[in-house]
Amino acid sequence: QVQLVESGGGLVQPGGSLRLSCVASGSIFSINAMGWYRQAPGKERELVAAITRSGNPDYVDSVKGRFTISRDNAKNTVYLQMNSLKPEDTAVYYCNARIMRPAEIGRWKDYWGQGTQVTVSS
């Protein structure tokens, strides 16, 4: 079994900051790309930021310059530092990781966390 557990969401005022964390645990042989998605009420889930195993990041245009994605491969953890938050950033944020299990060498599968709520409001 593989689990992704997010933490760090909450309520913050516009202009504030939050840091999300996501830890992958369980039967893991290797982790490839990791990323953060978000889904606001009535909207489709969208990719916010992703990072390769070697640390190359990519961002959706709406968060460039405000959000920073990073990872610690030794801890199987990915982070999302969110600064200058806006009300339109309000959403449930989901962690995603492409993982290879020891029982399935050569096969990559996408795993998801349960989501953490981020609300930006005064």
The full DSSP string for 35-103 is: EEEEE-TTS--EEEEEE-TT--EEE-GGGTTTEEEEEEGGGTEEEEEE-S--GGG-EEEEEEEEEE-GG
Q: Please give the C-alpha separations between residue 25 and each of 16, 29, 101, in angstroms, as whole numbers.
A: 30, 11, 11
Give residue 28's pLDDT: 97
Which tokens go with 68?
């920073």
Placement of tokens 């830890």 in the chain: 23
Placement of tokens 């840091």 in the chain: 19
Across 25-44, average pLDDT: 97
Q: What confidence tier does 19 reach under pLDDT thresholds 50, 70, 90?
A: very high
Q: pLDDT, tens digit, for every residue of 64-116? A: 999 999 999 999 999 999 999 999 999 999 999 999 999 999 999 999 999 99
Q: pLDDT, tens digit, for every residue of 49-68? A: 999 999 999 999 999 999 99
